[in-house]
Amino acid sequence: MQVDWIIKNVNLATMQDRGGTPYGKIEDGLLAVHNKKIAWLGKRSDSPVFKNTTVIDGDNGWLTPGLIDCHTHLIYGGDRAEEFEKRLQGKSYEEIAHEGGGINSTVTSTRNASNEELLASALHRLKQLHAEGVTTVEIKSGYGLDLVTEVRMLKIARDLQNQLPVTVKTTFLGAHTLPPEFNDKDDYIDFICQQVMPEIHKQNLADAVDLFCENIGFTSAQSKKVFEAAKQLGLPVKGHVEQLTYSGGARLIAEFNGLSADHLEYLADDEAAILKQNNVVAVLLPAAFYYLHEKKIPPINALRKANVEMAVATDCNPGSAPMASLLLAMNQACVLFELTPEEALFGTTNCAAKALGLGEHKGQLQTGYDADILLWNIHHPAELSYGINMNKPQRIWVGGSDVGGDDVSTS
């Protein structure tokens, strides 16, 4: 069998559903890559003969799929460190927003920033994620809230994958908050549905449409207008829902067969089954829960009982989750939301891929899937959620190409 390279003396956390085998693991395994895809994997003792190919010694480490951060707001101007201080002095997220802070303060900073400034700051954050093994990232707009800046943000997001070996999926988040030049939320929703979204779709800048359905965001009725406009353009939908209060947003996402419902602290237990019936992934964002000092966790047991796919992401943003570490998000998901380490790793691989509509290409070590692969010097996959700032991949492959990490001997 002719392949480009193989790695042996390695254990595989395939993150496939392998009949209850934890992590879909294959111990003492072998994996082969050809033409940017995984060509073969399994027990080394079962492998075919590979001729004239590069052989990598995994030194008894572990292979996982490349990590996927399926919810970020990576591009923005300025920071909100002063608001962080105000929250610690007793003001709530909602109070700060009503005083002119919150999302709109970042909107002002983002509109005033040059393309070069936005690209440089976003690239810095993306480098931190990539160094931990993130090979696919979703990036939202939503800090422009006018046509010009939303287009700029999405173009910069597209450009980031030319700066680093990372796959970027872009999401239009025009319905993030009411911008200062509008007085009426319905008028603003009409503006983004009738003027902004068609132009962004025309320029092929967005892979999906997102919104903030919340008491300080937009109502379920207003959100439905956005989803209807997205549907007419053939764009999949997702949403920030049930984060601070119950809004009915998750039910709305299910109605539109959306990709994901994100946050979900106030999701009703009986709505977990509705998400499952409509193949909606639940995206858990423990960093925002942590930074906002929230108390009510998502209904994890109800989601488990309904067999809802649970992804985990950083929510990297300047206000409620200024964090560029997906491994830390995995640890937070375990400590704060009581996920198991296995669920956390599924949440940043297999389930995260499904939350981005990439479930047939990424997120698993499986024949025919993209060869986005990480090699870790660990004894067990649970270490990735257990330790904080203790693990980085020894080696990173994207599309089968070696793009980073520490050197591993070849023979």
% of the chain residues with pLDDT over 70: 98
Is residue 139 located within the same domain as residue 81?
yes
Write down the H helix ranges in 234-310: 249-255, 272-277, 286-291, 300-305
**102 is in which domain, residue-wise?**
67-355
pLDDT digits (tens, 9 = 90+) for 314-338: 999 999 999 999 999 999 999 999 9
Asked whether residue 409 carries a pLDDT value surpassing 90, the answer given is no
Query: Of 123, 151, 126, which Cα lies nearest the Cα of 137?
Result: 126
Asked whether residue 411 carries a pLDDT value surpassing 60, the answer given is no
Is residue 53 located within the same domain as residue 150?
no
Is residue 36 located within the same domain as residue 131?
no
CATH code assigned at 392: 2.30.40.10
Is residue 141 located within the same domain as residue 246?
yes
What span, in angstroms and rounded, lies between the C-alpha atoms of 144 and 148? 8
| 337, 290 contact by CB (below 8 A) | no
Q: Based on the structure, what is the number of domains in the chain? A: 2
pLDDT digits (tens, 9 = 90+) for 371-404: 999 999 999 999 999 999 999 999 999 999 999 8
The rounded mean pLDDT for the chain is 95
Is residue 372 located within the same domain as residue 276?
no
How far is the CA of 150 from the CAs of 2, 102, 194, in angstroms? 46, 18, 15
Is residue 235 located within the same domain as residue 263?
yes
Is residue 263 located within the same domain as residue 174?
yes
Write down the H helix ranges in 164-268: 185-191, 197-202, 220-233, 249-255
- Please tell me whether residue 54 adopts helix, strand or coil conformation: strand
Lookup: tokens for 134: 């993130």
Mean pLDDT across 212-228 = 97
Asked whether residue 17 carries a pLDDT value surpassing 90, the answer given is no
Amino acid 192: pLDDT: 98
What span, in angstroms and rounded, lies between the C-alpha atoms of 112 and 78? 9
Is residue 13 located within the same domain as residue 50?
yes
Amino acid 407: pLDDT: 54
Is residue 186 located within the same domain as residue 326?
yes
Is residue 344 located within the same domain as residue 313?
yes
Amino acid 410: pLDDT: 39
pLDDT digits (tens, 9 = 90+) for 82-140: 888 888 899 887 788 778 788 889 999 999 999 999 999 999 999 999 999 999 999 99
Supply the pTM of this predicted model. 0.96
What span, in angstroms and rounded, lies between the C-alpha atoms of 169 and 154? 10
